[in-house]
Amino acid sequence: MNYKLLGKTDLKTPPIVFGGNVFGWTLDKKESFAILDEIFEMGFNFIDSADVYSRWAEGNSGGESEKIIGEWMQSRGNRDKIVLATKVGSSMQQGGDKDISKKHIFTAVEDSLKRLKTDYLDLYFTHWDDNKTPVEETLSAYQKLIEDGKVRYIGASNLSAERLQASLDAAKNENLPKYQVFQPEYNLLERDKFEGKIKEICVENDLGVTNYFSLASGFLTGKYRQESDFEGQKRKDFVEKYLNRRGLQVLDTLDEIAKTHQVSNAAVALAWIMQKPGITAPIASATKSKHLTAFTEAVKLELSEQEMGVLDQVSKK
């Protein structure tokens, strides 16, 4: 498996980052441990989480994902072999206020480190922008965490092009830590949030890019093709918006290309992202062992220029 350097860091990422939002939500602790064991054995050792995962699930209060990952790393004794990323940016309450103030960051990082049972994070992301905290304040908070050895590198997710650029400018002008990685939402059905100014900024500043919702919350696997497919599914609220003419046309195209290569739809959707300029590694999750086949298929799959073009065209809004 080929690993890439993430931006200007010394962190090496596998071709696909494993998304930890499933832990403590669609997977319980035992199931999570089984999946974590398998992805680690396969070489997918980059795990992405966030402090609020998975507060949206009934009965959860946030921190469930980090806690499971921490207990797994402790039980396996493999922390030094994991590239570990988590995020900060809002209170833990359901629908909590966004907050990237120095005070909140200092409190949140200690909570995350405790849940993850580690004394450092490889990557610490600004999860959301509160659109009020000066970028210098946020970056100076990260500077202290880096100086204290609690964080190695920082990244950002969901920032506007303006705030991302302002943060990069402040880092340069004020000798503050620079965001080394950006994490946008990006997939065949959600292209606008990355393609354009954000992508330009990432390329110009040599930022690594690890995009989330790579499979559109599972829609691009082909699992959901009619309303009845959502029955009893925890992801219904995330995916039903894609059940429209455009979404189904994209699925039809994935069907054709997947059949040609004798791989899964998910593998084709991931390969399309992996072959896109500016992307370092997509983030994807799996809830069953059999779903991980798509990871290995995607890593080996080389889409032709024509196939990339067809997918580009059918996925345009």
What CATH architecture is 4-183? Alpha-Beta Barrel (3.20)
Q: So what's the pLDDT on residue 234?
A: 66
Q: So what's the pLDDT on residue 236?
A: 73
DSSP state of 306: H
In angstroms, the CA 217 to CA 224 distance is 11
For 224-271, the pLDDT digits (tens) are 888 877 777 767 777 889 999 999 999 999 999 999 999 999 999 999
Q: Which of 95-99, 123-127, 138-142 has the lowest mean pLDDT?
A: 95-99
Q: Which of 37-41, 60-64, 255-259, 311-315 has the lowest mean pLDDT?
A: 60-64
For 143-202, the pLDDT digits (tens) are 999 999 999 999 999 999 999 999 999 999 999 999 999 999 999 999 999 999 999 999
69's CB contacts (< 8 A; 6+ apart) are 20, 23, 36, 47, 49, 84, 116
Q: In Å, how far from its chain's centre is CA 233?
A: 21
State the Cα torsion 238-239-241-247 to the nearest 10°: 150
In the predicted model, is pLDDT for residue 132 greater than 80?
yes
For 63-97, the pLDDT digits (tens) are 999 999 999 999 999 999 999 999 999 888 766 79
Q: So what's the pLDDT on residue 280?
A: 98
In angstroms, the CA 58 to CA 36 distance is 23
Q: Give me the residue label for tokens 């059940």.
A: 243
Mean pLDDT of 21-27: 94
In angstroms, the CA 144 to CA 55 distance is 28
| Closest by Cα among 194, 222, 221 to 207 | 194
For residue 160, how many C-alpha atoms fall within 13 Å in the half-sphere facing its CB? Answer: 8
Neighbours of 304 (CB within 10 A): 11
- Tell me whether residue 53 is one of the annotated catalytic residues: yes
State the Cα torsion 70-157-16-80 to the nearest 10°: -30
Percent of the chain with pLDDT over 70: 98
Give the H or E element holding residue 181.
strand 179-183
The dihedral sign for the CA sequence 172, 123, 12, 195: negative
Q: Where are the domains positioned within the chain?
A: 4-183
Mean pLDDT of 295-315: 98
Neighbours of 51 (CB within 10 A): 23
In angstroms, the CA 12 to CA 5 distance is 5
Q: So what's the pLDDT on residue 231?
A: 76
308's CB contacts (< 8 A; 6+ apart) are 272, 275
How high is the mean pLDDT of the chain?
Answer: 95
β-strand 208-209 against 179-183: which pairing, if any? parallel
Neighbours of 32 (CB within 10 A): 23
Residue 201's Cβ-count burial label (10 Å; 0-12, 13-18, 19+) is middle
Select which of 53, 142, 179, 212 is catalytic: 53
Q: So what's the pLDDT on residue 267?
A: 99
